[in-house]
Amino acid sequence: MTTTVHGLAGLAELAGTDLGRTRWVPVHQEHVAAFAHATHADTHAHHADEEGAESPLGGPVADGFHTLGLVGTLVDRLLEFQEIRMNVIYGVNRVRLPSPVPRGARVRLHAGVGTVTEVRVGAMEMLVNATVEVEGEPKPACVAEVVYRIYG
């Protein structure tokens, strides 16, 4: 379910809110390979060939930064902004990648809003506690505190 935020005043009310979970999203080999190619991370862990299958991770996996990169897109599926000029990811305070995302796995985001503070007139900072879950796996693939700046 998507939460709709109306302006900066509505944003302040989100502090401490659980945004829920997204639907499951597949991580196809084409996405893994494209991300690896785009970031020059051309290692065997990201390939669907024999060398990738011999990886200590049990087969081809998504790069950890690919997994982290999904967070912003998936947050957009949980949170819709109206009556604001722009929202941007300002940074990440903490990131852990406890488990890989195997090629072909499905992931989803569980997110909650931590603090929401005014950084200057017309701009708010929102901390989002994000956990990328892998279907059927006990450990998450990514746990991060993502910093957003929202401009009214």
pLDDT at 51 over 70: no
Q: Find where tokens 């007139």 sit.
A: 121
φ, ψ of residue 148 in degrees (nearest 5): -110, 145
Tokens for 43, please give them. Answer: 């290692």
Tokens for 83, please give them. Answer: 């009556």
* Nearest of 78, 75, 57 to residue 137 by alpha carbon: 57
pLDDT of residue 27: 95
Report residue 43's pLDDT band, with 50, 70 and 90 as the boundaries: low
Q: Could you give the angle at the alpha carbon of 87 between the alpha carbons of 26 and 24, nearest 5°?
A: 15
Domains located in the chain, CATH noted: 3-151 (3.10.129.10)
Burial of 136 (0-12, 13-18, 19+ CB in 10 A): exposed
Bridge partners, 21 (sequence order) = 110
pLDDT at 52 over 50: no
pLDDT of residue 34: 85
φ, ψ of residue 45 in degrees (nearest 5): -60, -20
